[in-house]
Amino acid sequence: MDFASLLGIISGIALIISAIFLGGNADVFLNVPGLMIVAGGTLAATLLTVNFKDVTNAFKAAWIVFTRDNTNPQEMIDTMLELSRVSHRHGLLKLGDVESDSHVLKRACNLLAEAASEQVIRNTLQNEIDSLIARHHSVQDVFRKMGAYAPAFGMLGTLIGLIQMLSQLSNPETIGPAMAVALLTTFYGSLLATVVFLPIAGKLHARTLAEVTNLEIIREGCISILTNDHYMHVYEQLASYLPEAQRKPVKIGKQQKDTAADGGGAKGNAGKAAAGKQQKPAGPRG
């Protein structure tokens, strides 16, 4: 679970609610017609703009933001190093036995096992990267549109409230409460846009960048394996995708080469590939 996302949205809503209760009567911030205008109008306009399937995919992706951890590029680098060792010991054909949750890594290993050319591997994996960016962009665009529509419908609700208020100017005592109700829809629209829709779109964009980095590591690692580079050369090429402080030490026999200034970095090697005959190499979750 991504606790940063969960903590962010809970703390944001909690602080706003606390400020409302500390400011006095919280009942004045509840207006059902205003919520209907903002929430219903935003959803209706979004459905009118994009396909229904894109909307459902967007909400599924939003759920993933809170339930799935970020992918770790260091783990992918470790996996590609293990695959490099396997290819040197047993040949490229052995990579066809790789089992992985990442369909891209599995496909790349199959291409290596089939002795595909460098250009074929590069083009295939680049197409995977481009299609992933396109799919994720359509999902992010749904929340960006909702983030734009919500304040607009909030303003629309305010105008409706002002019209109703001005129609009752003969009764001055109702002007103040009516004005408060009219402004609530603007509050609802701004709240949904700034606390929910736009932050989710931003988080999905960050996830896309992380996944693209992993796919680029797979692509460059496969090219290095194909050209029969030593696994230390593979590491040197792939380490550039990480900040220097996060690069993990790599062992060379009994010696250890540390390319990081402090030797820090992400721990663990999910999906470590084994070179034994009875154990298949495994990749990380993709």
**Residue whose entry in the numeric block shows the structure tokens 């290819």:** 87
State phi, psi for 99 to the nearest 5 degrees.
-110, 130
Asked whether the beta carbons of 201 and 58 are under 8 A apart, the reply is no
Kind of pairing, strands 250-252 and 255-257? antiparallel
Residue 258's pLDDT band (boundaries 50, 70, 90)? Answer: very low
Beta bridge mates, 282: 99
139-178 pLDDT tens trace = 999 999 999 999 999 999 899 888 888 887 777 777 777 7
pLDDT at 265: 38
Chain-centre distance for alpha carbon 74: 17
42-58 pLDDT tens trace = 999 999 999 898 899 88
Q: pTM score, two decimals? A: 0.75
**Residue whose entry in the numeric block shows the structure tokens 């290596």:** 112
176-210 pLDDT tens trace = 777 777 888 999 999 999 998 999 999 899 889 98
Q: What's the whole-number average pLDDT of the chain? A: 80
Residues with Cβ within 8 Å of residue 60, at least 6 apart in sequence = none
Length of the chain: 286
Q: Quick count: other Cβ atoms within 10 Å of Cβ 113?
A: 17
User: What is the per-residue burial (b if ≥16 Cβ within 10 Å, else e) of 190-215?
Assistant: ebbbebbbbbbbebbeebbeebbbbb
